[in-house]
């Protein structure tokens, strides 16, 4: 099998508004070349978000290094023009470098999502880093605040060998216990995967967006799905008020 434990039911049963939040590490260890790969991968994924269907997607993007930067705030993908404008913007995100501040990343994403989370049926956050926090504290309290705001799932990619996988799995993945083996039990559990490099992240994020929006992944990426993909799924759970 594909290692996918996600309900692939028809998408049109309910018209849902779905928040997608992407947190991107742009610290010094990423480097400008890898940043270009990461931003292009996310831009390619955004190009795949469907418009005109039953569900509506809202995208927010935060990058972080010594601090955090709001790159996109509550962008409603309700037309091809809106989708293309966001994708084009992502392709041109500048690179800042610096230290690694998880706390700023999570608190900033909370502030952004909190603008519209009351209207969302589901809220999924994807966090990608290649390192360990070295300024701003642990970031755990800020992660907890993001969850308290109403986020349903936090999925994580650890890029390369410099991450503290135990910290990411035990303290940031949500809901616990963090799932690390296929088939990933999304969205009942958060998940953690390791990817070898920036290209691994770019490939994974593109195909994760295919999955969360109910599209069939490209045939050449089925193997990738089974080992390193699924952080956002299609199982429907109406958010309780």
Q: Name the burial class of residue 145, with classes exposed (0-12), middle (13-18) and buried (19+) by CB atoms within 10 angstroms of its CB.
A: middle
Q: Which helix (H) or strand (E) holds 56?
A: strand 56-64
* Structural contact between residues 27 and 198, judged by C-beta atoms closer than 8 angstroms: no
pLDDT of residue 216: 58
Give the start-to-end residue ranges of the domains of the chain: 11-228
Q: What is the DSSP string of 104-145?
A: HHHHHHHHHHTTTGGG-SEEEEEEEESS---SS--SHHHHHH
- What is the three-class DSSP state of 77? strand
Which residues of the chain register pLDDT less than 70?
1-14, 216-241
pLDDT of residue 185: 77
- Find tokens 């616990």 and name the residue: 176
Other Cβ atoms less than 10 A from the Cβ of 162: the count is 12
pLDDT of residue 217: 54
Homologous superfamily of 11-228: von Willebrand factor, type A domain (3.40.50.410)
**Which pTM was predicted?**
0.86
């Amino acid at each position: 099998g594909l290692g996918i434990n996600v309900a692939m039911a028809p998408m049109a049963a309910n018209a849902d508004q779905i928040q997608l939040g992407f947190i991107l590490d742009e610290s010094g260890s990423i480097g400008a070349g890898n940043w270009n790969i990461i931003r292009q991968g996310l831009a390619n994924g955004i190009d795949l978000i469907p418009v005109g269907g039953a569900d509506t997607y809202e995208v927010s993007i935060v990058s972080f290094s010594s601090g955090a930067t709001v790159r996109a705030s509550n962008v409603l993908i309700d037309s091809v023009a809106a989708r293309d404008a966001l994708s084009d913007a992502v392709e041109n995100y500048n690179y800042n470098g610096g230290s690694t501040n998880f706390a700023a990343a999570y608190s900033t994403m909370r502030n952004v999502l909190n603008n519209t989370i009351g209207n969302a049926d589901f809220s999924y956050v994807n966090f990608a880093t290649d390192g360990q926090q070295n300024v701003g504290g642990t970031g755990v309290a800020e992660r907890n605040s993001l969850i308290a705001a109403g986020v349903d799932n936090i999925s994580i990619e650890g890029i390369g060998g410099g991450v503290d996988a135990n910290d990411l799995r035990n303290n940031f993945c949500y809901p616990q216990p963090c799932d690390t083996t296929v088939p990933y039990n999304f969205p009942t559990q958060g998940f953690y995967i390791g990817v070898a490099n920036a290209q691994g992240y770019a490939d994974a994020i593109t195909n994760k967006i295919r999955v969360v929006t109910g599209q069939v992944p490209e045939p050449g990426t089925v193997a990738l799905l089974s080992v390193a993909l699924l952080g956002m799924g299609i199982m429907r759970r109406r958010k309780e008020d």
